[in-house]
């Protein structure tokens, strides 16, 4: 099955709109993906037809909510091939999942957490805070100049003191994908756990947690054509069973007295209070939709878009890309600097003149930009519903911007 982009676009309502008689061109998919109609329909179905509480009542609304909520969990578990559905814990986003782990894994004095130097702030700050509290030591593996992973340096620095490797799968800085299978194998040989930040990878790259032998994984559904405010933490059942609660409250206990509590088993143990039932149900619809479109088709299309965009942008003098020269290694991301042009102004003019939505800044990677003394960049990140014609509009518009600034 090949991707019919025009047909796909019909399911994404924002792309049907116009402003100043021009359509929207959305190139900020690394931050947030758009949501197709089957996902928004599933969310409205909950609110309109069975807006109840899961696990607390047996009336019609409550029963239907519990049924659909657990169906969504099973769909996501199947999507990532977990051994048990209860290994999927619903959280707000990948950030909350990482914080849950940072606050529940018991570290002994001197134990080490390894990350790379291009981790998102969400996979840096929780470990940085633990280090400041003197609960862990941190070790940062520097990537190569083109942001590819340096396996040799990783092997050299892996010791028996390493308790956890917390590493991205695909980078939101450059789009590079790490050799996660090798990373996991090396860690496990040294008896370290691995947490995979799959936020940028989960939409387009099939992830089989059992085949890869992943210990923990986090993902944000808003980067997977799903709703905002819902994400997941995956963990091997025996590991999650061994962790204490992160948040305590309603829904997490089977019984309680004024002085003691009987904690619920997975997944309720980690899902305190009323959850985002509409979001979870929307997440289930999102993975159904991704399966229908096909991850292979999604990845191939965004790589082809990036190859084309890189070729066209390279015609412009003064363009410098972050990451490998081979655009296929950057997934759907073209993150770049333009000599002599303030990227904030370029981004604003593209938006105001042609409704082109990109992102400029440090992309939640301040540490990398600061350590390399690099200025803000502008990032174009492509989705399966984007077209080559949209890239042509972007390049022409950018050339007009350059004429203004370089006149």
> Which of 273, 291, 309 lies at the terminal end of a domain, its last residue?
291
Q: 190 pLDDT band (50/70/90 cuts)?
A: very high
- Looking at the fold, whether 116 and 229 belong to one and the same domain comes out as yes
Range of the domain at 20: 5-30+294-405
DSSP character string of 330-391: GTTEEEEEETTS-HHHHHHHHHHHH-EE-EEE-TT-HHHHHHTT---EEEEE--TT--HHHH
Q: Mean pLDDT across the stretch 8-21?
A: 97
| Count of C-beta atoms within a 10 Å radius of residue 250 | 12
Q: pLDDT tens-digit profile of 222-246?
A: 999 999 999 999 999 999 999 999 9
Q: What value does the mean pLDDT of the chain take?
A: 97
Distance CA 119, CA 126 (A): 12
| CATH, residue 116 | 3.40.640.10
Distance CA 275, CA 193 (A): 28
Tokens (6 digits) for 219: 């993902």
- Looking at the fold, whether 19 and 113 belong to one and the same domain comes out as no
Residue 342 Cα to chain centre, angstroms: 28
- Looking at the fold, whether 51 and 9 belong to one and the same domain comes out as no
Of 100, 41, 56, 42, nearest to 274 by C-alpha is 56
113 beta partners: 138, 164
- Looking at the fold, whether 262 and 308 belong to one and the same domain comes out as no
Q: Using CA of residue 156, residue 162, residue 167, residue 173, what is the dihedral sign?
A: negative
Q: Mean pLDDT across the stretch 146-173?
A: 97
| CATH, residue 351 | 3.90.1150.10
Q: Which residues are catalytic?
A: 364
Distance CA 268, CA 280 (A): 14
Tokens (6 digits) for 282: 């929307």
> Which of 247, 262, 291 lies at the terminal end of a domain, its last residue?
291
pLDDT value of position 27: 98
Strands (DSSP E) found in 265-339: 319-321, 333-338
> Which of 260, 291, 322 lies at the terminal end of a domain, its last residue?
291
- Looking at the fold, whether 192 and 54 belong to one and the same domain comes out as yes
- Looking at the fold, whether 134 and 243 belong to one and the same domain comes out as yes
pLDDT at 1 over 60: no
pLDDT at 407 over 80: no
- Looking at the fold, whether 121 and 203 belong to one and the same domain comes out as yes
Q: Mean pLDDT across the stretch 12-38?
A: 97
- Looking at the fold, whether 22 and 118 belong to one and the same domain comes out as no
Q: pLDDT tens-digit profile of 281-302?
A: 999 999 999 999 999 999 999 9
- Looking at the fold, whether 243 and 391 belong to one and the same domain comes out as no
Q: What total of structural domains would you count in the chain?
A: 2
Is the Cβ–Cβ distance between 220 and 199 less than 8 Å? yes
**pLDDT-above-70 percentage for the chain:** 100
- Looking at the fold, whether 351 and 268 belong to one and the same domain comes out as no
Q: What is the dihedral of CA 141, 119, 224, 23, to 10 degrees?
A: -130
Q: pLDDT tens-digit profile of 356-402?
A: 999 999 999 999 999 999 999 999 999 999 999 999 999 999 999 88
DSSP H helices in 10-132: 37-49, 60-79, 94-104, 125-132
- Looking at the fold, whether 311 and 229 belong to one and the same domain comes out as no
**pLDDT-above-90 percentage for the chain:** 95
Q: pLDDT tens-digit profile of 91-126?
A: 999 999 999 999 999 999 899 999 999 999 999 999
- Looking at the fold, whether 390 and 350 belong to one and the same domain comes out as yes
Q: pLDDT tens-digit profile of 120-146?
A: 999 999 999 999 999 999 999 999 999
Stretch (H or E) spanning 164: strand 162-168
Tokens (6 digits) for 320: 């410098």
């Amino acid at each position: 099955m090949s991707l019919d982009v025009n047909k796909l676009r019909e399911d994404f309502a924002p792309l049907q709109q116009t402003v100043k008689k021009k359509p929207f061109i959305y190139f900020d998919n690394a931050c947030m993906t758009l949501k197709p109609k089957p996902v928004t329909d599933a969310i409205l179905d909950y609110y309109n037809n069975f807006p109840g509480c899961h696990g607390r009542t047996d009336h019609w609304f409550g029963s239907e909510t519990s049924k659909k909520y657990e169906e969504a969990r099973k769909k996501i578990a199947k999507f990532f091939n977990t051994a048990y559905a209860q290994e999927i814990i619903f959280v707000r986003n990948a950030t909350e999942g990482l914080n849950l782990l940072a606050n529940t894994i018991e570290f002994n004095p001197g134990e080490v957490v390894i990350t790379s130097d291009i981790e998102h702030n969400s996979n840096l700050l929780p470990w940085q805070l633990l280090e400041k509290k003197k609960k862990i030591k941190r070790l940062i593996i520097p990537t190569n100049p083109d942001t590819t992973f340096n396996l040799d340096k990783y092997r050299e620095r892996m010791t028996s003191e390493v308790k956890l490797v917390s590493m991205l799968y695909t980078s939101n800085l450059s789009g590079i994908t790490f050799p996660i299978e090798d990373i996991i194998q090396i860690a496990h040989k040294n008896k370290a756990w691995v947490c995979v930040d799959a936020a940028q990878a989960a939409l387009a790259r099939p992830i089989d947690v059992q085949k890869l032998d992943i210990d923990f994984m986090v993902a944000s559904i808003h980067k997977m054509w799903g709703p905002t405010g819902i994400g997941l933490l995956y963990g091997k059942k025996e590991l999650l069973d061994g962790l204490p609660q992160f948040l305590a409250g309603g829904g997490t206990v089977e019984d309680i007295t004024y002085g003691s509590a009987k904690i619920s088993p997975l997944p309720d143990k980690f899902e305190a209070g009323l959850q985002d039932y509409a979001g979870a149900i929307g997440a289930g619809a999102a993975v159904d939709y991704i399966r229908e479109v096909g991850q292979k088709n999604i990845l191939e299309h965004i790589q082809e878009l990036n190859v084309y965009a890189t070729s066209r942008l390279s015609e412009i003098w003064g363009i410098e890309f972050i990451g490998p020269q081979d655009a296929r290694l950057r997934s759907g991301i073209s993150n770049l600097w333009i000599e002599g042009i303030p990227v904030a102004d370029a981004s604003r003019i593209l938006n105001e003149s042609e409704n082109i939505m990109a992102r400029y800044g440090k992309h939640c990677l301040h540490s990398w930009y600061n350590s390399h003394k690099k200025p803000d960049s502008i990032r174009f990140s492509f989705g399966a519903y984007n077209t080559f014609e949209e890239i042509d509009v972007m390049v022409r518009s950018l050339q007009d911007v350059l004429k203004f600034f370089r006149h």
